[in-house]
Structure 1
Amino acid sequence: MYGLTDNLIIQASGFALGDALAQLFFFLILLVLLRKFAWGPLMNMMKEREDYISSEIESAEKSREEAARLQREASEELKQTRQDAQKIIEDARQTATKQEKEIVASARKEGDRMKEAARQEIEQEKEKAVQQLKDQVSSMSVMIASKVIEKELSEQDQKELIDQYVNDTGEEQ
């Protein structure tokens, strides 16, 4: 019933089936060996690479956050420094204004004191001059009186005598 061709097909199928089973067996062994010796280390290497990249990304993110924080701090410090500088300048202005007012007040006070001292000195000199004039007038009066007593003079002679004494006294000064 089966002819030669059918026998060959079965043999070919049988032979091919056996080869296919052998190839499947060797393929499965190859898969097991690849899984054990290549896939595991390859996956480990990929996992390590993934962990490394992840840690680098995390480190870069931390560095970026740190840089941003440092920039904020530097900005705040710069702002604070500017405020401090502005306060120092304002304090210096206020101090300068206060010193200016004190210097002007002191100069006015000193000027007033000098005016008062000069006025007092003038007053003293005036009093001295008046006293000297009184002394001279009294001594002239005494001299005139003594001359009048020595000689009785006419009214014209008395006037000339007084004028002469007044002129003599004016020349002595």
Structure 2
Amino acid sequence: MQAFTIYSSVVIWGFHVGDMLVQLFFFALLLFLVKKFAWGPVMNMMKKREEYVANEIEAAEKSRKDAEKAAKEAADQLKQTKLEAQKIIEDAKTAGVKQEQDIIESARQEADRIKKAAQEEIQNEKEKALQALQDQVASLSVLIASKVIEKELSAQDQEKLINDYIKEVGEER
């Protein structure tokens, strides 16, 4: 302590130079110790904190971009889904119209088939009627021939007989 008292006794303009030098020495020693043991770890901690905050900001920005991308993809997918739904509806309408046309065409073909069958039946009935008429003509011819054989006909009687026969055949038709 004597060394300190020697320097502390010198006074310049009201300052104790010894005390100032001791305080300056301890302040320099404190700065050296702080720089060596505290400043490096504090700066490292501050640097790590700065990197952490920067990484968090970067991660948040990436998350925001990913969210925007996902939202855009969802919107695109929704748009695509709407287009597909519209196409399905249009395809169903087209299929409905085609089925309607197929049903109409099928009904038309069935009607034509029924009409053709009816015409064939009419033709068959007509042929049967003609066959029956021919059979009657044949029997009438035999009847006329038998009457002719029974009685000798004059040209006038023969003409009258033919006209009566034609008249009778016309009435049966």
TM over 0.5: yes
Structure 2 CA distance, aligned partners of 1:71 and 1:124? 78
Summarize the alignment of residues 89-100 of structure 1 with structure 2, pairs less than 5 Å apart: 89-100=89-100
Partner of 1:64: 64
Q: Any residues of structure 2 matched to 1:144-159 within 5 Å, and which?
A: 145-146=145-146, 149=149
Q: Which whole-Å deviations, capped at 9, do the CAs of 1:9-46 have from their partners, x for residues lacking one? A: x9462793201210111111101110111011101101
Q: CA deviation at 1:144?
A: 5.8
Q: Within 2, Cα distance between the matches of 1:12 and 1:22? A: 13
| Partner amino acid, structure 2, of 1:26 | F
Q: Does the Cα contact within 8 Å between 2:10 and 2:18 map onto a contact in 1?
A: no
Q: TM-score, with normalisation over the residues of structure 2?
A: 0.72
* Alpha-carbon separation, structure 1, partners of 2:135 and 2:141: 10
Identity %: 60
TM-score, length-scaled by structure 1: 0.72
Please name the residue that 1:13 is paired with: 11
Give 1:148 deviation, angstroms.
7.1
Tell me if the contact between 2:9 and 2:18 (Cα under 8 Å) persists in the aligned partners: no
Q: Distance in 1 between matches of 2:118 and 2:19?
A: 140
Partner in structure 1 of residue 106 of structure 2: 106
Partners of 1:46 and 1:11 in 2: CA distance: 44
Corresponding position: 1:54 with 2:54 = yes
Unaligned segments of structure 2, at least 5 residues: 1-7, 153-173
Structure 1, unmatched stretches of 5+, are: 1-9, 153-173
Counterpart of 2:96 in 1: which secondary structure?
helix
CA positional deviation for 1:70: 1.3
Q: Deviations over 1:90-130 (max 9, x none)?
A: 12211221231132123212211220221121122122122
How far has the Cα of 1:138 moved from its partner? 2.2
How large is the RMSD of aligned CA atoms in angstroms?
2.6
For these two proteins, the number of residue pairs brought into alignment is 144
In structure 2, the partner of 1:119 is 119
Match of 1:155 in 2: none
Once residues 36 and 50 of structure 2 are traced to their aligned partners in structure 1, the CA distance between those partners, rounded to angstroms, is: 21
**Counterpart-to-counterpart distance in 2, 1:100 and 1:137:** 54
